[in-house]
Structure 1
Amino acid sequence: MLVAVDHVQLAAPPGSEDQLRAYYVDVLGMTEIPKPPVLAARGGCWFQAGAVRLHLGIAQDFRPGRKAHPGLRVRDIGAYAARLAGRGAPVTWDENLPGHRRFYAEDPVGNRLEFLEAVATASSGRSG
């Protein structure tokens, strides 16, 4: 039985690790976690924030994920969007998901990332 998503892997071009670290650590606020030595030899980086884990793997024939993307839940989405924008990361708001505020951003190699937060509704009485 499935119980959770362990991680999401995104692709990245060879030699992009420093750009990825700058974005995922400095802009998104994640922590880089060490890869096992046998996997570290392949390049790429792994990042974590709480239970959220993203793996960036090197692909020789890299093409950024422009449609497929991880959806990342955040708290205080307005402040988080301001954090990204303040660090030079463009934010594109999208109001098409009922019950949520969300925006899209791209990592430095062009992978699409979705950030979302549930909003309180009169019937639910709760907020995300």
Structure 2
Amino acid sequence: MPTAVDHVRLAAPPGSEDRLRAYYAAVLGMAEVPKPPIPAVRGGCWFRAGDIRLHLGIEDDFRPAWKAHPGLRVTGIEAYATRLACHGAPVIWDDGLPGHRRFYSEDPVGNLLEFLEPSG
């Protein structure tokens, strides 16, 4: 019986690691986690913030994930949206989830990310 999500993996194009690091670490505030030796030779980056783990893996025939996406719970969503917008990331607010404030954005290679915070 599953008890938790260990990580979410998103794809990225070859040679995008520096852009991923700049976005996931500097903009989103996540810490890069060193990859073990065997996965490290395949490229990509791993990031962590609290219990959230995102693995960005390299795909030669990369296409950004748009429907499939991680939903990341945040605190202070207004300030977080401002932070992303100040770094040039799109912020698209959506009020379609009752009891939550949420917005969508994209990482630097076009993967969709959802950010949400319970309201009230």
What TM-score do the two structures reach when normalised by structure 2?
A: 0.98
Alignment-derived partner of residue 35 in structure 1: 35
Task: Give the paired residue count.
Answer: 120
- The 2-side partners of 1:114 and 1:101 are apart by 11
List per-residue Cα deviations over 1:29-59 (Å, max 9, x = no partner).
0000000011100000000001100000001
Instruction: State the secondary structure of the residue aligned to 1:48.
Output: strand
Q: CA RMSD in A?
A: 0.5
Alignment-derived partner of residue 118 in structure 2: 118
Gaps of 5+ in 1: 121-128
Alignment-derived partner of residue 99 in structure 1: 99
- The reply on whether 1:49 has 2:57 as its aligned counterpart is no
- The 2-side partners of 1:111 and 1:28 are apart by 14
- The 2-side partners of 1:102 and 1:81 are apart by 9
Residue identity (%) = 73
- Structure 1 counterpart of 2:10, which letter? L
- The 2-side partners of 1:81 and 1:3 are apart by 30
Gaps of 5+ in 2: none
Alignment-derived partner of residue 126 in structure 1: none
Q: Which structure has the greater CA radius of gyration?
A: 1
Alignment-derived partner of residue 26 in structure 1: 26
Instruction: State the secondary structure of the residue aligned to 2:56.
Output: strand
* Displaced runs of 4 or more, over 4 A: none
- Structure 2 counterpart of 1:89, which letter? A
Alignment-derived partner of residue 11 in structure 1: 11
- The 2-side partners of 1:90 and 1:27 are apart by 12
